[in-house]
């Protein structure tokens, strides 16, 4: 143990002197994630550096594929799937250095409601794949299942699992460590089609290089492979540390929970506790090559030789010889046991005297090889089995051994395929060999088995008996993996002890690296803040406690006319008459307002003009120094718009007053008439008193005084009317009714939102223009809208409040405008009075709104009408003549 540890330590030291310091580029298959954890660990923990390697890791994209990047010289090393072997068999000078994943995570995923539970169900369905080279394991699976790939609707992968969720694809190429997480998060049930279940068990995430790199830099290749595997051992032992690294440094677009899911999912695919990391079996490479040849993807395996890199050929030869001896022994035992089983079974019926002895030998042979056997009488449907087969199937002596019950032991997803295969065997008079999954009837445990056998026929060529063997493949694979378990544990122990010896020397280097990373992250954050700072449309100005500007962004230029550099070191009073900080600290505090509240102030432009601003202020401290940051926005255009709207509303209010007085003129005529009538009467009495001899001067004086009071009263009435109404001549112009409607709705939008009223427009396009006083017609529309708003206010809060404005052309070539609401409506009594002056249903109303509205419409040669039904709502509509051409 000490010698091994010392040798590894010497190797690491020596590597520092002979490995080139030129940058080494490693191309990954996809974006940064836990899938590539070992390479990050090798870089961050200094394994590459200790080996004298300056390594740069490049994440992959759909356009940057590792095989092409390495072959084109953009990287010396890459990481690929089974397409690596496929390209090698096609002549590419590629060399596999280490198989990180002993089992591929590549699977096809289908929504459960698509009812795709086996490859047969993919026929005619939309399948998202990368291409037939990258997804070679799927192509091999289709071939093993006898599926013509031309019958499949294959579409290029979008790399978005959302396409499977939304139904744009029926099956999606996925990784067991990635897409299932998204589906489980959203509660979507799915089926997984794993090529391993259909005889395709390929290596994955294979570290590779080129023949030229191996020839020119053999020591660098060996050092790079060794350091990478050291990183993988560390990553497998410290997954949370690698997850922190991915989140903090590599900024992966995955949550911590997702990365934990990924780490848990890939561990059984790498099997680091059982198999040496990077282990590659030449027989397995040959099996993969034969699978490609069988699928028609390549013609032969002429280029397979020297594809698998061997860092220590002598040790591997010894290990290989050991495996060969074990494999030969197992094969001989299996072959002998199988031949003995078949021969003994045939002799069983011919030689009754030797039945007992042969049965014991047969059972012993098969128990030694782990093979169970059975015989099915095809005439009766009954079958017999060996105890070992019962053990494999999880049944006991009480199990009813009939053909239907045999079928129940086969997993439902494999059952029909197996039964169909048996029928084909009977029809074609051939031996059979197939693999499938069984289910134990008592505990539902599933096991993979391989079945061999043949059919016996009578002289009339009728099938009479099916004889076969069953072997538990799961146990055999576990036994194979156990062979390397001790070596793996030994290597891990040496690895840990080596790390402990070098940990103290690397501690200082790690701290320096952490400081460098922290500085880099700080610079990144500062760059982001500066980018946001200069991209803001608001002016951002920071001052100190003495009102001196210490920073300003580019947005101050269009607001104040100064470049940011012109303001540094100047007083804030250059831009704002009174210091916002003083305002905040004094007047605002006295007014009990928060510092960050938006204020409306005037700024000073470089040309001396005033600029209307919205200002908010933030106060903070750095190293016990107080600073204030002012955020300003130029609101001059908004102020101008507000003044324009105010002027417009004043004009509308004037029209309202004018209309109101027009209507009130008839209503108050009797008030003016009364003093006039009284004056007339008093005058007649005065004349009569004058004609009396002698004149009654006292009575005459009293009557004249009353006459004067009535005259003054009439004057005051006229005066008030003149003060209320100023001269405003009607100004008509050509207008578009739909534009007037939109302008009025814009003026009322605040009331609509406040009362939670949904406004809908049903406006006909291309209506002819009208010749109107736009202010008066806008007043008509606003009066009707506000009338509907008042009706809708009283509806219950849970009831939908709806207001619809429509326009159309009538048969008389008039424009009709409707304002419809779903309020309480107008009862029959109110309908008779609603348009008359001084009638109102409101507690504080004057009763002149609708009367004025009607007068304004009629002044334009139109008509105002309404329809209403109690509880259903009210519709007011008016017409206007179109402009005569």
Beta strand 757-763 pairing with 733-735: unpaired
The whole-angstrom separation of Cα 171 and Cα 169 is 6
The whole-angstrom separation of Cα 755 and Cα 749 is 10
Phi/psi for 464 (5° steps) reads -120, -30
DSSP symbol at 800? P
Question: How high is the pLDDT of residue 623?
Answer: 79
Cα–Cα separations (whole angstroms), residue 562 to 218, 596, 719: 64, 25, 57
Residue with tokens 């009578």: 458
DSSP symbol at 382? B
Sequence-separated (6 or more) residues with CB below 8 Å from residue 154: 127, 128, 129
3-state secondary structure of 204: strand
C-alpha closest to that of 550 among 578, 573, 569, 531 = 569
In tens, the pLDDT along 623-658 reads 788 888 988 888 877 777 767 766 776 666 566 655
Tokens of residue 729, six digits = 């001549």
Instruction: Answer whether residue 69 shows pLDDT above 80.
Output: yes
What would the mean pLDDT of 449-474 be, rounded to a whole number?
A: 87
Region of poorest pLDDT, from 4-8, 640-644, 779-783, 821-825: 4-8
Phi/psi for 375 (5° steps) reads -140, 130
Question: How high is the pLDDT of residue 692?
Answer: 82
Question: How high is the pLDDT of residue 703?
Answer: 84
Question: How high is the pLDDT of residue 526?
Answer: 73
What would the mean pLDDT of 874-879 be, rounded to a whole number?
A: 94
Largest CA distance in the chain: 177
If one compares 436 and 598, the residue with the highest pLDDT of the two is 436
- Is there a contact between 43 and 57 (Cβ–Cβ < 8 Å)? yes
Q: Is the pTM of this model over 0.75?
A: no
Instruction: Answer whether residue 280 shows pLDDT above 60.
Output: yes
What would the mean pLDDT of 427-442 be, rounded to a whole number?
A: 87
Residue 383: count of CB within 10 angstroms of its CB: 19
In tens, the pLDDT along 508-554 reads 778 888 888 878 787 877 777 777 777 777 889 999 888 899 899 98
* Percent of the chain predicted with pLDDT > 90: 29
The whole-angstrom separation of Cα 549 and Cα 521 is 28
Strand partners, 450: 435, 471
Question: How high is the pLDDT of residue 15?
Answer: 43
Region of poorest pLDDT, from 353-362, 443-452, 742-751: 353-362
| CA end-to-end distance (rounded Å), the chain | 109
Tokens of residue 32, six digits = 């940064």
Q: What are the start-end ranges of the H helices in 36-82? A: 37-44, 47-50, 66-71
The whole-angstrom separation of Cα 718 and Cα 672 is 8
Q: What is the mean pLDDT of the chain?
A: 81
Region of poorest pLDDT, from 115-119, 816-820, 844-848, 853-857: 844-848
Instruction: Answer whether residue 803 shows pLDDT above 90.
Output: yes
Instruction: Answer whether residue 475 shows pLDDT above 60.
Output: yes
The whole-angstrom separation of Cα 139 and Cα 297 is 9
Rounded to the nearest 5 degrees, what angle is found at the Cα of 785, between the Cα atoms of 754 and 824?
80
Phi/psi for 396 (5° steps) reads -125, -170
The whole-angstrom separation of Cα 795 and Cα 759 is 16
What would the mean pLDDT of 323-334 be, rounded to a whole number?
A: 59
Sequential DSSP letters for 733-761: EEE-HHHHHHHHHHHTHHHHHHTTEEEEE
Question: pLDDT-derived band of residue 329, with 50, 70 and 90 as boundaries?
Answer: low
What would the mean pLDDT of 340-369 be, rounded to a whole number?
A: 54
Residue with tokens 């004249």: 704
Question: pLDDT-derived band of residue 403, with 50, 70 and 90 as boundaries?
Answer: confident
What would the mean pLDDT of 306-315 be, rounded to a whole number?
A: 80
In tens, the pLDDT along 810-841 reads 988 899 999 999 988 888 777 777 777 666 66
In tens, the pLDDT along 160-211 reads 888 888 888 999 989 988 889 989 988 999 999 999 888 888 999 999 999 9
- Is there a contact between 63 and 116 (Cβ–Cβ < 8 Å)? no
């Amino acid at each position: 143990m000490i010698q091994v540890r010392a040798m590894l330590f010497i190797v690491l030291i020596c590597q520092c002197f002979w490995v080139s310091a030129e940058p080494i580029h490693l191309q990954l298959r996809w974006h940064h994630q836990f899938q590539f954890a070992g390479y990050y660990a090798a870089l961050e923990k200094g394994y590459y550096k200790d080996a004298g390697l300056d390594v740069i890791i490049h994440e992959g994209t759909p356009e940057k594929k590792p095989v092409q990047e390495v072959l084109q010289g953009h990287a010396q090393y890459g990481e690929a799937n089974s397409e690596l072997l496929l390209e090698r068999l096609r002549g590419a000078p590629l060399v596999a250095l280490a198989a990180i994943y002993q089992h591929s995570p590549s699977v096809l995923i289908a929504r459960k409601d698509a009812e795709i539970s086996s490859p047969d169900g993919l026929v005619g369905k939309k399948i998202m794949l990368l291409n037939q080279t990258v997804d070679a394991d799927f192509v091999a699976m289709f071939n093993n299942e006898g599926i013509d790939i031309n019958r499949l609707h294959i579409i290029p992968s979008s790399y978005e699992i959302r396409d499977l969720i939304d139904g744009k694809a029926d099956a999606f190429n996925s990784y067991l460590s990635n897409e299932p997480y998204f589906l489980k998060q959203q509660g979507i049930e799915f089926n997984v089609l794993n090529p391993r279940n259909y005889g395709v068990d390929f290596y994955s995430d294979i570290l590779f290089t080129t023949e030229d790199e191996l020839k020119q830099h053999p020591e660098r290749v060996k050092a790079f492979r060794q350091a990478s595997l050291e990183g993988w051992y560390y990553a497998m032992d410290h997954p949370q540390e690698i997850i922190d690294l991915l989140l903090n440094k590599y900024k992966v677009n995955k949550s911590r929970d997702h990365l934990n899911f990924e780490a848990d999912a890939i561990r059984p695919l790498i099997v680091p506790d059982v198999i040496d990391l990077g282990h590659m079996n030449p027989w397995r490479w040959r099996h993969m090559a034969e699978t490609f040849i069988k699928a028609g993807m390549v013609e032969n395996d002429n280029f397979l030789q020297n594809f698998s890199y061997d860092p220590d050929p002598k040790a591997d030869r010894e290990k290989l010889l050991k495996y060969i001896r074990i494999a030969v022994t197992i094969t001989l035992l299996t072959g002998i046991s199988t031949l003995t089983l078949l021969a003994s079974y045939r002799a069983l019926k011919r030689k009754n005297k030797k039945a007992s002895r042969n049965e014991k030998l047969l059972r012993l042979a098969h128990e030694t090889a782990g093979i169970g056997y059975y015989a099915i009488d095809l005439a009766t449907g009954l079958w017999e089995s060996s105890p070992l087969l019962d053990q494999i199937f999880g049944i006991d002596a009480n199990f009813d051994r009939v053909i239907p019950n045999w079928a129940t032991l086969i997993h439902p997803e494999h059952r029909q395929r197996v039964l169909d295969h048996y029928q084909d065997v009977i029809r074609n008079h051939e031996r059979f060999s197939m693999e499938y999954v069984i289910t134990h009837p008592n505990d539902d445990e599933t096991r993979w088995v391989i079945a061999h056998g043949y059919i016996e026929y009578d002289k009339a060529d009728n099938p009479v008996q099916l004889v076969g063997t069953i072997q538990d493949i799961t146990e055999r694979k576990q036994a194979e993996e156990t062979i390397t378990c001790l070596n793996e544990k030994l290597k891990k122990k040496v690895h840990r002890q080596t790390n402990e010896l070098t940990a103290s020397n690397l501690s200082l280097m790690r701290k320096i690296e952490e400081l460098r990373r922290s500085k880099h992250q700080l610079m990144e954050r500062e760059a982001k803040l500066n980018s946001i700072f200069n991209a803001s449309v608001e002016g951002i100005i920071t001052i100190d406690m003495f009102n001196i500007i210490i920073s300003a962004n580019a947005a101050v230029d269009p607001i104040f006319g100064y470049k940011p550099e012109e303001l540094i070191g100047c007083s804030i009073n250059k831009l704002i008459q009174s210091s916002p900080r003083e305002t905040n600290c004094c007047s605002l505090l006295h007014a009990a307002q928060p510092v960050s509240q938006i204020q409306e102030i005037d700024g000073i432009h470089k040309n001396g003009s005033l600029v209307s601003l919205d200002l908010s202020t933030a106060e903070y401290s750095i190293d016990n120094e107080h600073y204030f940051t002012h955020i300003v926005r130029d609101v001059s255009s908004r102020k101008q718009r507000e003044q324009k709207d105010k002027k417009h509303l004043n004009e509308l209010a004037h029209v309202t007053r004018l209309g109101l007085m027009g209507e009130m003129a008839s209503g108050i005529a009797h008030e003016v008439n009364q003093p006039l009538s009284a004056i007339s009467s008093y005058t007649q009495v005065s004349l009569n008193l004058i004609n009396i001899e002698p004149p009654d001067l006292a009575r005459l004086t009293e009557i004249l005084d009353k006459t004067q009071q009535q005259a003054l009263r009439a004057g005051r009435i006229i005066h008030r009317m003149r003060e209320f109404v100023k001269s405003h001549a009607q100004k008509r112009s050509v207008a578009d009714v739909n534009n007037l409607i939109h302008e009025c709705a814009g003026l009322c939008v605040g009331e609509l939102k406040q009362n939670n009223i949904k406004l809908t427009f049903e406006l006909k396009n291309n209506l002819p223009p009208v010749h109107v006083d736009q202010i008066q017609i806008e007043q008509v529309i606003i009066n009707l809208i506000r009338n509907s708003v008042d009706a809708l206010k009283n509806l219950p809060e849970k009831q939908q409040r709806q207001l619809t404005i429509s326009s159309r052309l009538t048969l008389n070539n008039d424009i009709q405008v409707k304002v419809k609401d779903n309020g309480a409506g107008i009862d029959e009594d109110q309908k008779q009075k609603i348009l008359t002056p001084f009638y109102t249903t409101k507690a504080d109303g004057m009763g002149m709104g609708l009367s004025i509205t009607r007068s304004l419409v009629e002044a334009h040669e139109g008509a105002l009408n309404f329809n209403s039904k109690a509880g259903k709502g009210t519709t007011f509509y008016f017409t206007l003549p179109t402009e005569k051409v």
